[in-house]
Structure 1
Amino acid sequence: MRIVLIILTLLTSSAWAEPLPQWRVFFAPDRLAQVEKHFGAKGVDEVMKLHDFIDARLQLSLPPFDHLKPVNDYFNQYRFVSDQRHWQQPDYWATPFEFVASGGGDCEDFSLAKFFTLRVLGMPSVQMRLMYAKALELNQAHMVLTYLEQEQAMPLVLDNLNKAILPGDQRPDLLPVYSFNGEGLWRARAFDQGVRLKQGENGILLWQELLERLAAGEGR
């Protein structure tokens, strides 16, 4: 529940509307001490590798789009492992630091790590969506990160199953269900803009309600 609520806070916080110059606070000594407590020296090494990766990318002063492939490749080097095996829980959303420190995670963890790292590198939230889909060949739920260059553009898919970044219309193995970001929640059956789900003026409220139900174990 703690991790779900942290993710919710980060997704809906106005702080994510702009690049994050304060990103280094996430690597402060007290936070690294917590990493070492739970994951040992190896975990700290992996977290600091992420720090160095982000720092090196920022030094290049590139447009956010140019970070897509390096970020996708960086996290795809980690192993896929189910939540039940990894965390002894049926569903657990790891922070990017838990993901790298523990050596891997499931599809949500890959997607969230990519989302937050790209945010630090200056990618606007509005150009990215976390998308739940059905992986048809595996016959199971799956999450990917999508990038929309323009509002009506065909999104690019960043995925841990197919490591190549491809337009959605070249991923017939995925059936989109819904997507979300800091601005709202959308229902879709294809890689298009989908139907925005609203509650009052703000689709975020529906997403908050959904996460609260998930955190409480309802609706399963």
Structure 2
Amino acid sequence: MSPPPFRTLDSPERRRFLAGLGSLGLAVGLGLGPASVGANLSRLRQSMQAQYGQRGLVSLEAWFTLLERLRAADLETRLREVNDFFNRRIRWLDDIDIWGQEDYWATPLETLGRGQGDCEDYSIAKYITLKELGVPGDKLRMIYVKARIGRSGITQAHMVLGYYETPAAEPLVLDNLVPSITPAAQRTDLDPVFSFNSSGLWAGGSTQSRADPLARLSRWRNAINRMQQQGFI
């Protein structure tokens, strides 16, 4: 990805980003998922074996090893190692090429099983993994953004994971496009649109995006239903 064009850090979009996308709760307590994860390892192994066989099990066991290694680690290490794990292990590919659908939100098990995913899949997998490692869900949000590519001004829909120390804090951005975890103020190539987690939805950023938050929340609910069936409690 080419360096982004110059953009003032005091733009309205940037202030919204740094203020937690306006901290405006459009939908709270929607039943979007459990407050904690608590993976059932036996059920996850059975689900992976049934869907993806031995190759999937190898990836799942690597995820279990990651969890075990990081449970006692400090927050910075957990964020960095989880971000690196999925960025290195998962190959980016469009949903249409993976699933034959334009927009499919995969569970972490499906992403690990395939070894492929798009930006939503990276963000969901990191979110669930960090919650499993004890990071409070209210400090994590999946952020739907418009990402500018190079100096051409062309934008594309994209999703990243944000870690918020407080609801109004500048988030740290975990992204599959950029290997390092970066404060939002430094990601001038990203214009936030809305963010969400298991508790609700926050609006902000560009008002001209065609993204429909509620339509995407339905995909999130579907992913959560599959996660619960697979062994994510």
What letter corresponds to residue 189 of structure 1 in structure 2?
Answer: G
Distance (Å, rounded) in 1 between the aligned partners of 2:220 and 2:167 = 29
**Is 2:135 aligned against 1:129?**
no
Matched position secondary structure for 1:12: coil
Q: Residue by residue, what CA displacement relative to the aligned partner does 1:74-123 show, whole Å, maximum 9, x if unpaired?
A: 11012101110001111111111111111120000000000000001111
**Partner residue, 1:199:** none
**Partner residue, 1:96:** 108
Work out the percentage of aligned pairs sharing the same amino acid. Answer: 39
**Partner residue, 1:202:** none
Decide whether the 8 Å contact of 1:110 with 1:160 is kept in 2. yes
**Partner residue, 1:49:** 62
What displacement does 1:68 show? 0.5
TM-score by length of 2: 0.71
Distance (Å, rounded) in 2 between the aligned partners of 1:214 and 1:144 = 14
**Partner residue, 1:67:** 78
**Partner residue, 1:87:** 99
What letter corresponds to residue 49 of structure 1 in structure 2?
Answer: A
What letter corresponds to residue 64 of structure 1 in structure 2?
Answer: L
- Per the alignment, do residues 215 and 52 of structure 1 end up closer, same or farther by CA in structure 2, a change over 3 Å counting? closer
- Per the alignment, do residues 136 and 67 of structure 1 end up closer, same or farther by CA in structure 2, a change over 3 Å counting? same
Decide whether the 8 Å contact of 1:130 with 1:145 is kept in 2. yes
Decide whether the 8 Å contact of 1:64 with 1:122 is kept in 2. no
Q: Residue by residue, what CA displacement relative to the aligned partner does 1:174-201 show, whole Å, maximum 9, x if unpaired?
A: 11100011222111118xxxxxxxxxxx
Distance (Å, rounded) in 2 between the aligned partners of 1:212 and 1:93 = 10
**Partner residue, 1:34:** 47
- Per the alignment, do residues 189 and 46 of structure 1 end up closer, same or farther by CA in structure 2, a change over 3 Å counting? same
What displacement does 1:215 show? 8.2
What letter corresponds to residue 71 of structure 1 in structure 2?
Answer: V
Distance (Å, rounded) in 2 between the aligned partners of 1:163 and 1:98 = 22
Q: Give the aligned CA root-mean-square deviation in angstroms.
A: 2.5
Distance (Å, rounded) in 2 between the aligned partners of 1:112 and 1:213 = 12
Matched position secondary structure for 2:159: strand
What displacement does 1:146 show? 0.3
TM-score by length of 1: 0.75
Decide whether the 8 Å contact of 1:180 with 1:186 is kept in 2. yes
**Partner residue, 2:87:** 76
Q: Which runs of 5+ in 1 are unaligned?
A: 1-7, 191-205
**Is 2:119 aligned against 1:107?**
yes
Distance (Å, rounded) in 2 between the aligned partners of 1:178 and 1:91 = 17
- Per the alignment, do residues 123 and 65 of structure 1 end up closer, same or farther by CA in structure 2, a change over 3 Å counting? farther
**Is 2:157 aligned against 1:141?**
yes
Matched position secondary structure for 1:164: coil
**Partner residue, 1:211:** 217
**Partner residue, 1:12:** 33
Matched position secondary structure for 1:68: helix
Deviation beyond 6 Å, 4+ runs, structure 1: 206-209, 213-216
Matched position secondary structure for 1:172: coil
**Partner residue, 1:3:** none
- Per the alignment, do residues 31 and 117 of structure 1 end up closer, same or farther by CA in structure 2, a change over 3 Å counting? closer
Distance (Å, rounded) in 2 between the aligned partners of 1:83 and 1:75 = 17
Decide whether the 8 Å contact of 1:145 with 1:157 is kept in 2. yes
